[in-house]
Structure formats: C-alpha cells, structure tokens
Amino acid sequence: MLRDGFLGNHASFMLDFVVVALVLVVPILLYSLYSVKVQRQYARHKFLQLLLGVVLLAAVGAFEIDLHFIQGGWEKVVAKQDPPLIEAQTAWVRTVLRIHLIFAISTPFLWVTTIVLALRRFPNPPLPSSHSRLHKLLGWISTVDLTLTSVTGLWFYYTAFLAY
Ligand code: HEM
C-alpha cells in the first residue's frame, strides 16, 4: 500500500480511496431510491443496493487493514503533518472521529440486516410484499445512517488533514 494518498496531503492512499468512495456512494444511493420509489424498478434497486453493499464492504475492509496494520493507526497518519498539530487540535480531531464512529460502526450492521432480511423475505425477482413495511423502515434508517457516516467521515478528513 502506498504511504501517501493522491489528494495532495499526508493522508494515506486508502484514506483518500475511502473518501472518494464515500462521495460516489451518495449519487448511486439516490439513483437506487429514485428507481424504487418513482420508477418501481425493484430489480434495479436490488442490484444497486447489493453492489453498494459489496463496494462499501471491500473499501472499508481494505481501509481498516491499511490504517491499523500498515499505517499503525490514525494518530500516526495525522502526526505526519508539517507543522504538527498542537494538543488541542489533536483533541478536536479525536472528538470528531468519535462522532464519526457512532455512525460508521452502526451502518454495516444495519446494512447487513436490511440486505439479509430483504433477500430472505422479498420474492425473487423482488416485488412489494408483507415485508415492505419493515424493509422501508430499515431501508430509510440505513440510508440516513450511511449518509451521516459519509458526512461525518468527510468532516473528520477535513479536520485531520486539511483544516490546520
Ligand atoms: C441496505 C440495502 C437496502 C436499502 C438501504 C434499501 C432501501 C429501501 C428504501 C428506503 C425503500 C423504500 C422507498 C420508499 O419509501 O418507497 C426500499 C424499497 C424496496 N426495496 Fe430496498 N433497500 C435495500 C436493499 C434491498 C434489497 C436487497 C432488495 C431485494 C431483495 C430490496 C427490495 C426492495 C423492494 C421490493 C422495495 C419496495 C417496497 C414497496 O414499495 O412496497 N431492497 N428499499
């Protein structure tokens, strides 16, 4: 894995990769919801949600391995900044990270639950069914959680690597 990323700061390659993935996820998600809600294209919605699930899992998995086992944790990546962050700045970065982690940790659990139940309970090819009520609830919570993961992740990236 490369030591520095491609967005022109001291973040790692995988951090930059995940930031780009988090931005790309939003239009795909919007298109998937438009497909199901307005066009009633259930099979396309299913395909896009499974694609997003696989892409997100692969990106986040590679990112975690890179950050923890290759870079040695986020504090080491942030410490590469020149001039280094002062204690108060590092403390603020840590607070923003904690806020981000609330959403980042709950999202995969919700996402997996939503997908597994949908695959088990909707017919194949997918159509509205008795599972619709629960799926819509889980689907909207998953969507909001992923969006907040994305927004707070970008906020962390900005605070850690661009703000100071
Ligand atoms: C984490 C993945 C998923 C998310 C976040 C998600 C999200 C949503 C949301 C928010 C809606 C409701 C749209 C509305 O308000 O009308 C919806 C509807 C629907 N989804 Fe998903 N979905 C996911 C995965 C899947 C999968 C894997 C399938 C198929 C196996 C599926 C099949 C459907 C169907 C059939 C509807 C229409 C329900 C109805 O209108 O009665 N979804 N989805």
- Assess if residue 5 is contained within a domain: no
User: Alpha-carbon distance 149 to 154, whole Å?
Assistant: 9
- Assess if residue 100 is contained within a domain: yes
- Assess if residue 3 is contained within a domain: no
Cα distances from 121 to residues 1, 51, 134, in angstroms, run 40, 19, 11
Could you tell which of 26, 135, 137, 138 is best to mutate to test the pocket of ligand 1, judged by most ligand atoms within 8 Å of the CB? 135
- Assess if residue 49 is contained within a domain: yes
> Measured from the CB, is residue 115 less than 6 Å from ligand 1?
yes
Task: Using the mean position of ligand 1's atoms as its centre, give its distance from the Cα of residue 138 in Å.
Answer: 9
- Assess if residue 8 is contained within a domain: no
User: For each of the chain's 164 residues, which pLDDT tens digit applies?
Assistant: 446 788 888 888 888 988 888 888 889 999 999 999 999 999 999 999 999 999 999 888 988 898 888 889 999 988 888 889 999 999 999 999 999 999 999 999 999 999 999 999 999 999 999 999 999 999 999 999 999 999 999 999 999 999 98
The total number of structural domains that make up the chain:
1
- Assess if residue 2 is contained within a domain: no
User: Alpha-carbon distance 51 to 33, whole Å?
Assistant: 14
User: Alpha-carbon distance 62 to 56, whole Å?
Assistant: 10
Task: Using the mean position of ligand 1's atoms as its centre, give its distance from the Cα of residue 98 in Å.
Answer: 30
> Which residue has a Cα nearest atom 22 of ligand 1?
139
Which domain, by its residues, includes 158? 13-162
- Assess if residue 41 is contained within a domain: yes
- Assess if residue 86 is contained within a domain: yes
Task: Using the mean position of ligand 1's atoms as its centre, give its distance from the Cα of residue 67 in Å.
Answer: 33
